[in-house]
């Protein structure tokens, strides 16, 4: 009864960790496509092909349900996968919707027409591919009206994290927040629309200031997965053990994961 968690690299570990904390008995198989990270500078076809390959690898581990713990894959590939690729009995869920439901104060399955919500000025930080897809704005428009979204493509941040260069990642975060604030001086909320960014959450909060509410996805996705599995227990696959897999170099990836998550994580070759 394992669930798969997929990301281009280390970022999805933030989601994996939140799921494990919420459902400690649920076996999770994590796959980081570190050999091909970052996805955020690739085109949609490339992201689609890599994501399908990663998800297939998780099926081999007995995971019928895979969480795309990657906004870039969720934005660029998920809809196409669901419409034309997924075989019977398999499911792939993205990370966008739980966050947008939280921002728009909705419960799962609330399909009522879009309405006014509390927040009016939202800053979105995401990879260039996610920003270019406008998937966040599209999902938001289904649920809320009158929300002004200013999106900042945060080039270089995922790469710096994957290289283990925290100082560079922090400097880039500061400059991306400053660039956004020139266009939207007083956001009320900030969305970390890339699962790598919670690894730099303190830097985002510092640059944004204490008055800005920072939404990050990990806990929201874990909560929504728990809810989903209550409704669809048959989606628990046949796998029985938790594992961390990477398409990259397991020794190097284990070292970086341990550095960022601040506890020992050991990856195997995918
Ligand atoms: N963690 C991925 C996301 O949420 C990073 C994508 C990348 O590899 O650029 O978008």
Annotation marks residue 70 as catalytic: yes
Q: Rounded to an integer, what distance in angstroms lies between the CA atom of residue 161 and that of residue 170?
A: 9
Distance 113 CA to ligand 1 centre (A): 30
Residue pair 74/131 in contact (Cβ under 8 Å)? The answer is no
Task: Give me the pLDDT at residue 106, please.
Answer: 80
Closest atom of ligand 1 to 194 CA is 4
Under DSSP, the state recorded for 148 is E
Closest atom of ligand 1 to 12 CA is 1
Task: Give me the pLDDT at residue 185, please.
Answer: 96
Q: Residue 224: CB within 6 Å of ligand 1? A: no
3-state secondary structure 62-101: CEEEEEECCHHHHHHCHHHHHHHCCCCCCEEECCHHHHHH
Q: Rounded to an integer, what distance in angstroms lies between the CA atom of residue 193 and that of residue 215?
A: 9
Axis crossing angle, helix 96-103 with helix 135-143, rounded to the nearest 10: 40
Q: Residue 217: CB within 6 Å of ligand 1? A: no
Q: At a CB cut-off of 8 Å and minimum separation 6, what does 13 contact?
A: 7, 30, 32, 257, 260, 261, 265
pLDDT in tens, 26-54: 999 999 999 999 999 999 999 999 999 99
- Closest to 9 measured CA to CA, from 44, 56, 54: 54
Residue to mutate, 6, 9, 193, ligand 1, most ligand atoms under 8 Å from C-beta: 9
Closest atom of ligand 1 to 40 CA is 9
Task: Give me the pLDDT at residue 129, please.
Answer: 93
Q: Rounded to an integer, what distance in angstroms lies between the CA atom of residue 50 and that of residue 33?
A: 8
The ranges of the chain with pLDDT < 70 are 108
Whole-prediction pTM value? 0.92
Q: Whose CA is nearest to atom 2 of ligand 1?
A: 70
Closest atom of ligand 1 to 11 CA is 1
Annotation marks residue 194 as catalytic: yes
CA distance readout (Å), 190 to 82, 90, 215: 29, 33, 6
Q: Residue 11: CB within 6 Å of ligand 1? A: yes
Domains of the chain from N-terminus onward:
3-94+218-269 (3.40.50.1860), 97-217 (3.40.50.1860)
Q: Residue 253: CB within 6 Å of ligand 1? A: no
Task: Give me the pLDDT at residue 81, please.
Answer: 96
pLDDT in tens, 121-163: 999 999 999 999 999 999 899 999 999 999 999 999 999 999 9
SS3 189: strand
Distance 245 CA to ligand 1 centre (A): 17
Count CA atoms within 13 Å of residue 36 on its CB side: 21
């Amino acid at each position: 009864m394992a669930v798969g968690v997929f990301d281009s690299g280390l970022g999805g570990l933030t989601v994996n960790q939140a799921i494990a904390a919420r459902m400690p008995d649920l076996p999770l198989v994590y796959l980081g496509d570190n050999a091909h990270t970052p996805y955020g500078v690739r085109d949609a076809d490339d992201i689609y092909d890599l994501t399908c390959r990663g998800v297939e690898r998780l099926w081999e581990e007995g995971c019928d349900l895979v969480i795309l713990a990657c906004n870039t894959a969720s934005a660029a590939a998920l809809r196409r996968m669901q419409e034309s690729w997924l075989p019977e009995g398999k499911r792939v869920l993205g990370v966008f919707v739980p966050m947008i439901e939280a921002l728009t104060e909705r419960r799962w399955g609330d399909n009522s027409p879009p309405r006014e919500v509390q927040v009016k000025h939202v800053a979105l930080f995401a990879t260039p591919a996610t920003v270019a897809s406008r998937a966040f704005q599209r999902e938001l428009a289904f649920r809320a009206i009158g929300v002004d979204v200013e999106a900042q493509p945060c080039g270089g941040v995922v790469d710096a994290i994957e290289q283990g260069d925290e100082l560079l990642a922090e400097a880039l975060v500061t400059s991306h927040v400053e660039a956004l604030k020139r266009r939207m001086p007083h956001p009320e909320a900030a969305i970390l629309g890339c699962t790598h960014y919670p690894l730099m959450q303190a830097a985002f909060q510092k640059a944004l200031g204490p008055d800005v509410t920072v939404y990050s996805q990990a806990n929201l996705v874990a909560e929504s997965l728990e809810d989903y599995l209550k409704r669809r227990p048959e989606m628990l696959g046949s796998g029985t053990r938790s594992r961390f897999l990477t398409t990259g170099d397991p020794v190097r990836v284990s070292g970086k994961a341990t550095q960022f998550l601040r506890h020992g994580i050991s990856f195997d070759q995918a």
